[in-house]
């Protein structure tokens, strides 16, 4: 349930107090101790990580979330898409490089809807 709060806003970062506040609205039966334990557990499982501290409170964020910039080669439009890294790819990276991903940014190049279908397949321009 705590994990779902993070999944609802993949790029959000929350302190334990934030989670207690959010969880309090939906899950009255959860004690603060239960919530604190759930967060510690998610942290240990590397499902979330501590993204920094704010006013002395640790802020947690989902692992494997980041931004993709979609850049049009034709008109230069840049659209930023928030997304989660596919767990399959994260697993491959961990297997191959022993690298644990905590967020990412990437740039994807292509053409957006500014080009019509005919132009899209042309190499010139």
Query: Residues in the site for Zn ion, rule: CB under 5 A?
Result: 72, 74-75, 77, 112, 114
- 103: alpha, beta or left? (left if phi > 0; alpha if psi -120 to 50): left
C-beta of 115: minimal distance to Zn ion in Å? 6
DSSP characters over 85-125 = --HHHHHHHHHHH------EEEEEEE--TTS-HHHHT----
Task: Between 34 and 111, name the residue whose CB sits nearer to Zn ion.
Answer: 111
Task: Between 88 and 121, name the residue whose CB sits nearer to Zn ion.
Answer: 121
Contact criterion met (CB below 8 Å) for 84 and 10? yes
23 CB-near residues (< 8 Å, 6+ apart)? 1, 2, 5, 30, 35
C-beta of 85: minimal distance to Zn ion in Å? 26
Task: Between 71 and 85, name the residue whose CB sits nearer to Zn ion.
Answer: 71
C-beta of 91: minimal distance to Zn ion in Å? 34
Task: Between 52 and 110, name the residue whose CB sits nearer to Zn ion.
Answer: 110
C-beta of 109: minimal distance to Zn ion in Å? 11
């Amino acid at each position: 349930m705590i994990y779902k709060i993070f999944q609802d806003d993949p790029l959000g970062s929350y302190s334990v107090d934030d989670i207690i506040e959010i969880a309090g609205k939906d899950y009255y039966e959860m004690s603060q101790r239960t919530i604190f334990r759930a967060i510690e557990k998610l942290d240990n499982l590397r499902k979330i990580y501590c993204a920094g501290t704010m006013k002395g409170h640790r802020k947690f964020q989902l692992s494997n979330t980041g931004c993709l910039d979609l850049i049009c080669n034709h008109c230069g439009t840049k659209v930023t898409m928030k997304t989660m890294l596919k767990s399959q790819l994260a697993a491959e990276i961990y297997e191959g490089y022993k690298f644990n991903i905590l967020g990412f940014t990437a740039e994807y190049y292509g053409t957006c809807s500014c080009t019509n279908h005919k132009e899209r397949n042309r190499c010139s321009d």
